[in-house]
């Protein structure tokens, strides 16, 4: 795996499966009385958030803490950013404080790429503008695989405001890598200009696609990124592209409904559908912690540092585990740590 996770497009099939398998192992930690491992003890993870977030910020914080990393939460609001400090100067300040990994959410597409040029630690993209949100795609893939048992050959419809969606772009890349077939469904005004170069299909007829879908992923209408009218009215949008009970009934019985959140209930998704047993929305949030633990674990190479898929990081991680064996039984550590290490060899 690379040192950074900036784009889902950078993940090979091997990397993606390694993250999902590692997350599967780490998710079992949540069943324990004390859901914590010492793996990243002494490492510092900085959450650098320039844009609002509930799920991603809390999830990365929980993930880092469950691996015993020190966590610094930085929010642009109330910081020296308000006095005009640049991203570069903020990044260098964080580096001086010893950040081993920086998790960044930024309103500007490409901000994580720039950050990766300035700091020595790992950079994890937690959502940059309308570009990418790779850990959301990973947790979505994890959720689909858990619910439906596989990804290969599945038909996934991603529906709604594709134009402003970093989730859609990352999911198209990752799902394609994992062997799923993706169809984007949106009004023409909410599709990117170059959508014909994306590795997916496009449809404008939501209802006729539904009987053939295994997964329907609804996207939020991002009013805050819209500077003009992209559809005649919210009512018209919901009628043509919203998922209500009538449309839900068109899906095959095994199909699931996803949404990355936050939702506009009653706009892209009816409240009944969001709360239905076929909805995985709450599971997606829970799975996000295990997936982000896996990403941090693999990028930081356990207690050894460096990329986890090489450079002896796996051995260093195992060795670090031995040093904490007085605190945890060997069997417990083997089940939660050695397996993920094995998965990326």
Q: Which of 253, 239, 186 is nearest to 217 (CA)?
A: 186
| Beta-bridge partners for 184 | 158, 202
Cβ proximity to ligand CP: between 41 and 107 the closer is 107
Cβ proximity to ligand CP: between 54 and 189 the closer is 54
Dist. CA 121–CA 129, nearest whole Å: 22
Instruction: Assess whether 106 carries a catalytic annotation.
Output: no
| Binding of residue 55 to ligand CP (CB under 6 A) | yes
| Binding of residue 54 to ligand CP (CB under 6 A) | yes
Q: Which of 160, 180, 166 is nearest to 133 (CA)?
A: 166
User: Residue 154 contacts by C-beta under 8 Å, 6 or more apart in sequence?
Assistant: 144, 148, 180, 181, 214, 215
Q: Cβ of residue 237: shortest distance to ligand CP, in angstroms? A: 20
* Active-site position among 66, 133, 169, 259: 133
- Residue 170's H or E segment, with its range, is helix 166-177
Q: Cβ of residue 262: shortest distance to ligand CP, in angstroms? A: 6
Q: 60-99: which residues touch ligand CP (CB under 6 A)?
A: none
User: Residue 219 contacts by C-beta under 8 Å, 6 or more apart in sequence?
Assistant: 158, 159, 160, 161, 162, 165, 167, 168, 259, 260, 268
Angle at 248 between CA 183 and CA 237, to 5 degrees: 65
* Active-site position among 55, 114, 176, 328: 55
Instruction: Assess whether 254 carries a catalytic annotation.
Output: no
Among 2, 15, 53, 212, binds ligand CP (CB under 6 A): 53
Burial letters 25-58, b for 16+ CB under 10 A, else e: bbbebeeeeeeebbbbeebbbbbbbbbebebbbe
Among 112, 160, 187, 260, binds ligand CP (CB under 6 A): 260
| Binding of residue 264 to ligand CP (CB under 6 A) | no
* Active-site position among 66, 105, 166, 220: 105
Q: Cβ of residue 149: shortest distance to ligand CP, in angstroms? A: 24
| Binding of residue 56 to ligand CP (CB under 6 A) | yes
* Active-site position among 83, 120, 197, 345: 83
The site map against ligand CP for 125-164 (x = CB under 6 A) is --x-----x--x----------------------------
* Residues labelled catalytic: 55-56, 83, 105, 133
Task: Give me the residues that bind ligand CP (CB under 6 A), please.
Answer: 53-56, 127, 133, 136, 260-262
């Amino acid at each position: 795996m690379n040192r950074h996770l900036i784009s889902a497009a950078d993940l090979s099939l091997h990397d993606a499966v390694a993250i999902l398998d590692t997350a599967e192992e780490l998710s079992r930690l949540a069943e324990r009385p004390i859901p914590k491992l010492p793996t990243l003890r002494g490492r510092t993870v900085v959450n650098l958030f320039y844009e609002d977030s509930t799920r991603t910020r809390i999830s990365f914080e929980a993930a880092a803490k469950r691996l015993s990393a020190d966590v610094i939460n930085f929010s642009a609001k109330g910081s020296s950013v308000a006095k005009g400090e640049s991203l570069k100067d903020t990044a260098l300040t964080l580096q001086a404080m010893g950040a081993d990994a920086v998790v960044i959410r930024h309103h500007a597409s490409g901000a994580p790429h720039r950050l990766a040029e300035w700091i020595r630690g790992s950079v994890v993209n937690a959502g940059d503008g309308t570009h990418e949100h790779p850990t959301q795609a990973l947790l979505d893939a994890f959720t689909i695989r858990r619910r439906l048992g596989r990804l290969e050959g599945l038909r996934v419809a991603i529906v709604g405001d594709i134009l402003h969606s970093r989730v859609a772009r990352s999911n198209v890349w990752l799902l394609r890598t994992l062997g799923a077939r993706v169809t984007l469904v949106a009004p023409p005004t909410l599709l990117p200009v170059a959508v014909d170069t994306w590795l997916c299909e496009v449809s404008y007829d939501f209802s006729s696609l539904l009987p053939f879908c295994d997964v329907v992923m609804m996207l939020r209408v991002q009013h805050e990124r819209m500077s003009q009218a992209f559809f005649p009215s919210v009512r018209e949008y919901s009628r043509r592209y919203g998922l209500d009970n009538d449309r839900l009934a068109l899906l095959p019985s095994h199909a699931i409904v996803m949404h990355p959140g936050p939702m506009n209930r009653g706009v892209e998704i009816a409240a009944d559908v969001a709360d239905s047993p076929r909805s995985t929305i709450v599971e997606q949030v829970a799975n996000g912690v295990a997936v982000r633990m896996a990403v941090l674990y693999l990028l930081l190479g356990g207690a050894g540092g460096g990329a986890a898929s090489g450079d002896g990081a796996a051995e260093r991680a195992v060795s670090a585990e031995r040093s904490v064996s007085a605190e945890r039984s060997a069997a417990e550590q083997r089940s939660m740590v050695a397996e993920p290490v094995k998965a990326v060899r």
